[in-house]
Amino acid sequence: MDRKYPHLSSPLKIGNAILRNRMVSAPMSFPDIPREGYLTASAAAFYELRAKGGAAAVTISECVVHPQTGKSHSVHIDLNAPGGMRGFALAANAIRRHGALASIQLSHGGMYGGADALDKSVLSGAKRYGPSNMTLPNGTVVTEMPVELIREITRAFGTYAGLAKQAGFNMLMVHAGHGWLLHQFLSPLYNFRTDDYGGSLYNRTRFLSEVLDSVRAAVGPGFPVELRMSGAEFAPGGYGVEEAAQIAQLVEDKIQLLHVSAGIFEGGFARQHPSMFHERGCNVWLASEIKKAVKVPVATVGGLNDPEMMEEIIASGKADVVEMARALLADPYLPAKVVEGRSEDIVHCFRCFTCHAERMTTGLRRCSVNPVIGREEENRHVPKAPFSKKVLVVGGGPGGLMAAITAAQRGHKVILCEKERELGGALRTERKVPFKKDLYALPQKYGYLARKSGVEIRLGTEVTPELAEAEQPDVILCAVGAEPIVPPIPGIDGKNVILATRLSEDDVEVGQKVAVLGGGLVGCEMGLHLAMEGKTVTVVEMLPRLAADANTRHRPILLEQMKLHGITEHVSTRGVRVTEEGLVCADEDGREFLIPADTVLCAVGMRPRREVVESLRNCAPVFLEIGDCVCPSIVAEATTRGYYAALDI
């Protein structure tokens, strides 16, 4: 049998172990970590799902080897936690029993100890050690790490490697990238030492080299050790890919897989986790350059999820392995679907950063497109319903579609009606926005999966009380969404005003100068899209912050893009009327001024379609409401509620 993706599907020997294919689950921390550092059953279930989904190796992260000095977050898993071995052994076993290699990331935060902590009080007052004495931009004082401490941490890497092997891990990763301790020593940005651990490249690599020796002494020859490094720092004065290749050459005989990521800690987030504004695979060239300099197999990472692209990366020899994080949150079964040649079934991540932002704000792990993530333990299977019911889903946005798929998988007979001629709901507005193309594609993919699961989809069908009663469903899942708010200001009905939700319609023409009324997420993104098309854009927002409803990870990246594209912003400013000249605004003191514009784009928010909901409420014995028709929100809310509503029937 010929495989559709033969290179991605082929095994690779690394040391004395075999990767069953070339797709690895990149390190992802799971936030359910008790203070003691135990690996919980819910964390084990999170990692197990990726092994079940076909990944060749699954990396548990982030285990700090010297908790006294090295915590980069407020809580960490700790292989050495008293009585904790059992949790790690269960997790390693849960990964291995599905045929994947169980790996664990060993790390130390160095001078950023506590920098990313949710609960900063945990680490307040702790001394921060880095390669050299310095003060960080946030005022944190960093103390040069004494040689005795370097030696202690080196030994700790070995101790933890030994514990990992004892727990049943059959691979491990040493983290020397993303600006953490070992990277800090490699970097000319932070390492100004004059002893054996600073100065020349050889000296800067000494700590890493000794750590790898310590690890090797603990795990023995052939045990697969993966080294994660940044292939370039992307910071003025930082090392570039040539120097990264030299570092790799110095240590390649101590490792079995070289994992090339990118960037430093400060300002490096969007480089390490390429955002929707980056090309997919934008870091591959780093792996490819370094691979030319070394013999050890090389892995690449960052924004990968397209099987065609990943197959080409392996086939052309740019890298030997591809690693994915967010893509496997969105669809843990991506590797299995690739190997089986079912790439059309893959649900793609659209890089919204809900996964990261939720951890920072609530301590949860969530995904917009996959409601099971973070709750794997309670959602091992979609349970079959005891009796098959007739379910009418009203609305073909993400909420209705997720509900329809799940209800059909449970064995119900499902009809989904959408009043427009196309699925997608509010996401139809993203059709012409290049950086949202993956989000636009999402409901189309859900539609395909719904049909495949047996859902009957009726487009161009508005559900009225008459239609609903004629169908006689047992259950109505109502996901009719929201509609744009039109502010009652003079001139808003003028020809020069366009609702943001209509921007992707073919008959809509936008002038060269645009004033965006409403600087929430939608107004900012639509304004950015128009600025990228070369329009002159001004965004007006009543609140003191732009994109206040965007998540904490996406927001700074979006604001940076807006700045880059020359968007003018007025916050704490109200739009008071639209005239033929543009948008008249009032500042905080009530002073009026004109923003000259050919087009005013109105993006002041959405209101739920409550009247539709109420008209259908008594058309079936069971009536459940889903998504924006309850309260306008985000895709994650709609899909999560859709999934659980379908489980509730």
Ligand X SMILES: Cc1cc2nc3c(=O)[nH]c(=O)nc-3n(C[C@H](O)[C@H](O)[C@H](O)COP(=O)(O)O)c2cc1C
Give contact residues for ligand FAD (rule: CB under 6 A): 352, 368, 394-400, 417-420, 425-427, 429, 439, 462-463, 479-482, 500-501, 522, 609, 612, 626-628, 633-636, 638
Q: How far is CA 273 from CA 15, 103, 264, 350, in A?
A: 28, 21, 12, 12
Residue 206 in contact with ligand X, rule: CB under 6 A: no
Q: How far apart are CA 312 and CA 392, in angstroms?
A: 43
Report how many residues bind ligand X under the rule CB under 6 A: 24
Q: Which is nearer to ligand FAD, 176 or 401 (CB)?
A: 401
The amino acid at 621: P
Q: How far apart are the first and last CA of the chain?
A: 42
The amino acid at 617: R
- Minimum Å distance from CB 63 to ligand FAD? 32
Residues 234/268, Cβ–Cβ less than 8 Å: yes
- Minimum Å distance from CB 245 to ligand X? 20
**Could you tell which of ligand FAD, ligand X, none binds residue 325, using a CB distance below 5 to 8 A set by kind?**
ligand X
Residue 366 in contact with ligand X, rule: CB under 6 A: no
Torsion sign over Cα 185, 188, 192, 194: positive
DSSP output for 349-408: P----HHHHHHHHTS----SS-TTTT-TTT-SS-PPPSS--EEEEE--SHHHHHHHHHHH
Residues 21/10, Cβ–Cβ less than 8 Å: yes
Q: Facing residues of 484 across strands? A: 606
Ranges within 219-258 binding ligand X (CB under 6 A): 228
Indicate the pairing of strand 12-14 with strand 17-19. antiparallel
Residue 298 in contact with ligand X, rule: CB under 6 A: no
Residues 477/646, Cβ–Cβ less than 8 Å: yes
Q: Which residue from 66, 291, 326, 553 is in contact with ligand X, where contact means CB under 6 A?
A: 326
Q: Facing residues of 104 across strands? A: 60, 172
Taken as a whole, the chain contains a residue count of: 649
Closest CA to 104 of 79, 68, 82: 79
Stretch 160-189: interaction string toward ligand X, x if CB under 6 A: ---------------x--x-----------
- Minimum Å distance from CB 107 to ligand X? 7
Q: How far apart are CA 630 and CA 560, in angstroms?
A: 32
Q: How many CA within 13 A on the CB side of residue 563?
A: 7
Segment interacting with ligand X, rule: CB under 6 A, options 245-253, 324-332, 408-416, 468-476: 324-332
**Could you tell which of ligand FAD, ligand X, none binds residue 304, using a CB distance below 5 to 8 A set by kind?**
ligand X
**Could you tell which of ligand FAD, ligand X, none binds residue 175, using a CB distance below 5 to 8 A set by kind?**
ligand X
- Minimum Å distance from CB 27 to ligand X? 4
- Minimum Å distance from CB 523 to ligand FAD? 9
Q: Which is nearer to ligand FAD, 597 or 602 (CB)?
A: 602
Residue 29 in contact with ligand X, rule: CB under 6 A: yes
Q: How far apart are CA 400 and CA 646, in angstroms?
A: 10
Q: Which residue from 15, 37, 43, 61 is in contact with ligand X, where contact means CB under 6 A?
A: 61
Q: Which is nearer to ligand X, 154 or 230 (CB)?
A: 230
Q: Which is nearer to ligand FAD, 320 or 637 (CB)?
A: 637
Determine whether 200 is exposed, middle or buried from the number of CB atoms within 10 Å of its CB (0-12, 13-18, 19+).
exposed
- Minimum Å distance from CB 174 to ligand X? 11
Residue 62 in contact with ligand X, rule: CB under 6 A: yes
Segment interacting with ligand X, rule: CB under 6 A, options 24-32, 214-222, 340-348, 438-446: 24-32
Stretch 85-114: interaction string toward ligand X, x if CB under 6 A: --------------------x---------
Which spans of this chain sit near ligand X (rule: CB under 6 A)?
Answer: 26-29, 61-62, 105, 175, 178, 228, 261, 272-274, 301-304, 324-327, 355-356
